[in-house]
Structure 1
Amino acid sequence: MRLEAVYVITGGTRGIGAGVARRLAGVPGRGLLLGYRGNHERAEKLVAELDRPDAPVRARSCDVADPAQVGELFAAADAMGPLNGLVNSAGILERQGPFEEITAERWARVLAVNVVGLAMCCREAVLRMRGSDRPDRAIVNLSSKQADLGAAGEYVDYAASKAAVDTLTRGLALEVARHGIRVTSVRPGIIDTEIHADGGDPDRARRVGPQQPMGRAGTVEDVAGAVAWLLSPDAAFVTGTTIDVTGGR
């Protein structure tokens, strides 16, 4: 079945990406393609949960740090239907530690996924969206409030990569606005996902959440709602901007 619109979500089978997939799934004529790296069983389980005959959900393994795999991901989206939206949720966070312990190899890994990989996904999306006349073509990049805060003593490399995402978002948005493509980013704060375990602090959201102005950590649903709005016609005049989803942090 050729669909009316396809949305690609990188990092789409866990954390915020999976939350966005759940929020977008189930609309007749809309297909989702979820990129993921590593956990095939989790991807299959999410597809089984969300897939519908009139709103198919597919998953494909893709390391966004590999340009060839990025190209294959978007070719798979082409086979489903015209690309209408991209959510760049794939990202990595390495263990907390002081700045002087961050090696050149770690910098290269973090930037390859969080910046270069995201940029290559944006490139593939723009190449496809630029020739469309649909009014609601949009790219949403997942940034982080750490882009403002700096993550001193924890993961300055991650914070720096997310600051690059915000700058990329602004520049790309201005470049493609005349083509009717909107580009925005969302900066989550303390969100209760497993990414904190990747940084070596699995209880971080539960520990730090009550210290936030709203007295709790955020949920993936909090972020997914903002992403879904930015993809929707309700945000038709919103581009080149970043929305904080931080509970006031």
Structure 2
Amino acid sequence: MQNVLIITGGSRGIGAATAKLAAARGYAVCVNYHRSRPAADAVVAEITAAGGRAIAVAADVASEVDVVSLFQKVDDLLGPVTALVNNAGILETQMRVEEMNASRLNRILATNVTGSFLCAREAIRRMSTRHGGRGGAIVNVSSAASRLGAAGEYVDYAASKGAVDTLTIGLSREVAGERIRVNAVRPAFIDTEIHASGGEPGRVDRIKDSIPMKRGGQPEEVASAILWLLSDEASYTTGTFIELAGGR
């Protein structure tokens, strides 16, 4: 039976790189997106052109209704999920905490935290041996910001990723006996479009000299770590974090 992977926020950046690498390694892939349908369709087209199996499904992970629908569509079109990458995440314009309002905080937390919980819940209901599943793996895309704090820029984003870290630890212990492994990657300073969302597209170039490796990372480097955590090579690994921040 073919492994089935859902990647939230899979149309661009780390998500797109992970989708392509997973498909090349034999996964049937659902590329979830919120608004970027052309980008998601392009990822699917690239996968299918190479002989892989992939679909694009729209869903806002902050919406419980959307998340339930996403997993049901994957059930119908690809089969029950055996792997989940909680990659969807947002940040907003750089600012100090004293300038943030509740609307901004709620948007960040709804996508980055609630979305990860909801997707994990639906995956567990399909993977867990308690529910007749055959097991599986979940990888949460956290951030080195969860331990660095992102002072003066994105403390709210960093805090949301701290919650994702705690989810990873707690959930890994909760479902370890049900043949589900839960791990996380903590990337930072990766060359993706997310920096433009914060108002500084060139952020990685600005700070690269402060990174011990003196460069930003590439989405494909993060994807490789994610695929290792999903694979049988990591069969005794759960509740673990892989740092991808160039030494920071």
Identity %: 50
d(CA) in 2 for partners of 1:11, 1:226? 17
Give the deviation of 1:52 after TM superposition: 5.3
**Where does residue 208 of structure 2 map in the other structure?**
209
1:59 paired with 2:60, answer no
Q: Does 1:157 align with 2:160?
A: no
| Equivalent position amino acid for 1:236 in 2 | S
Paired residues in the alignment total 244
Matches within 5 A, 1:1-249: 4-28=2-26, 30-51=27-48, 55-79=52-76, 80-130=78-128, 131-134=132-135, 137-249=136-248
Distance 2:32 2:9 in 1: 6
* Residues 58-88 of structure 1 deviation map (CA, whole Å, 9 limit, x = unaligned): 0011100111110111011111113110001
Report the RMSD for the aligned CA atoms in angstroms: 1.3
- Secondary structure of 1:144's partner? coil
Which consecutive residues of structure 2, in runs of 5 or more, have no partner in the other structure? Answer: none
The offset of 1:27, in angstroms, is: 3.9
Aligned equivalents of 2:205, 2:25: Cα separation in 1: 34
**Structure 1 residue 116, shift from structure 2 partner:** 0.4
Distance 2:112 2:22 in 1: 23
Separation in 1, partners of 2:45, 2:209: 35
SS in 2 for 1:83: coil
Q: How far 1:243 sits from its partner (Å)?
A: 1.2
Residues 1:138 and 1:73: Cα distance change in structure 2 (over 3 Å):
same
- Summarize the Cα distance change of 1:5–1:207 in structure 2 as closer, same or farther, 3 Å threshold: same
Cα distance in 2, alignment partners of residues 25 and 133 from structure 1: 21
TM-superposed CA distance for 1:210, in Å, is: 3.2
Name the SS for the 1:148 alignment partner: helix
Q: What amino acid is the match of 1:203?
A: G
Distance apart, 1:216 and its partner CA = 0.5
TM-score normalised by the chain length of structure 1: 0.95
